[in-house]
Amino acid sequence: MYSVGIDSGSVATKAVLFDGEIVEKVIIPTGWSPKTAAEEALNLLLTRSKVNRDKVKKIVGTGYGRVSMAFVDKTVTEITCHGKGAHFLNNKVRTILDIGGQDSKVISLDSKGNVIDFIMNDKCAAGTGRFLQVMSNVLGFDVSELDTLARDVEPEPITSMCTVFAESEVISLLAKGVSKERTASGIVHSIANRGVSILGRVNLSDEIAFTGGVAQSEIIKEAIEEKIKKSIYTPKDSQIVGALGASIIGWNMIKK
């Protein structure tokens, strides 16, 4: 018996196969059709795990594209799913900072992983994965190279958090002869400042989790830790936390 959680994000679609533990996971680009991506993620999940479809008893969808998943048994908000997923990975977590492709959010949890408060910014791509992608394109490096490029380099301040204005600012800095390394470091601190700003809108607990695609950058995590003077827990699979939470909700439905 298995459950599946599918998190349809603006940039990536994540899926988790669960039987009380994570059995298999996949991450694929969402592309133009969340519905198609969700179906593809499910099929890939079953193919990789060699699990027959009839052994999956519950499928739960989450993320902005969840409304397009006609084949799921239940849809749940990403806020709730992130809470369940983070709590499963580390039951000491009481605050989650999630920075995804085009939104960011902070979630406060109780001791059982239930959401007690949240702040969500989905109106602007400032400080998100999209912001980072645009900036890296201007600088001419891959996002995966950010940690190496910006480490131990004095940051050049990036004053604008609007993606469009920040892009123009970075182009101007390069034209003035500011190095790519200093500019990249400035981008890191710009994203970290945005994360700190949204964290400041809730009561911070001692145990904070950093999730989402941007959390894969160790240097951004370190910059946030330095600014808030607290250590942050980052799951190895920071992108699948929402899908994991959805699969856990499905698993609990099976057990009931």
**Confidence label for 123 from pLDDT (cuts 50, 70 and 90):** low
Longest Cα pair distance anywhere in the chain, in angstroms? 63
pTM for this prediction = 0.93
Given a cut of 80, whether residue 122 has pLDDT beyond it is no
Q: How far apart are CA 13 and CA 29, in angstroms?
A: 6
pLDDT given at position 161 = 75
Ordered domains of the chain (ranges, CATH):
1-90+237-256 (3.30.420.40), 94-234 (3.30.420.40)
- What is the percentage of the chain residues whose pLDDT exceeds 70? 99
Given a cut of 70, whether residue 66 has pLDDT beyond it is yes
Given a cut of 70, whether residue 35 has pLDDT beyond it is yes
Q: What confidence tens digit (pLDDT) does each residue in 93-111 have?
A: 999 999 988 889 999 999 9
**CB 61: neighbour CB atoms within 10 A?**
29
> Which residue, 1, 11, 42, is CA-closest to 216?
11
| SS3 of the chain | CEEEEEEECCCEEEEEEECCCEEEEEEEECCCCHHHHHHHHHHHHHHHHCCCHHHEEEEEEEECCHHHCCCCCEECCHHHHHHHHHHHHCCCCCEEEEECCCCEEEEEECCCCCEEEEEEECCCCCCCHHHHHHHHHHHCCCHHHHHHHHCCCCCCCCCCCCHHHHHHHHHHHHHCCCCHHHHHHHHHHHHHHHHHHHHCCCCCCCCEEEECHHHHCHHHHHHHHHHHCCCEECCCCHHHHHHHHHHHHHHHHHHC
Q: What confidence tens digit (pLDDT) does each residue in 220-249 have?
A: 999 999 999 999 999 999 999 999 999 999
Q: What confidence tens digit (pLDDT) does each residue in 141-195 have?
A: 888 899 999 999 999 999 887 888 889 999 999 999 999 999 999 999 999 999 9
Q: How far apart are CA 223 and CA 196, in angstroms?
A: 10
pLDDT given at position 126 = 77
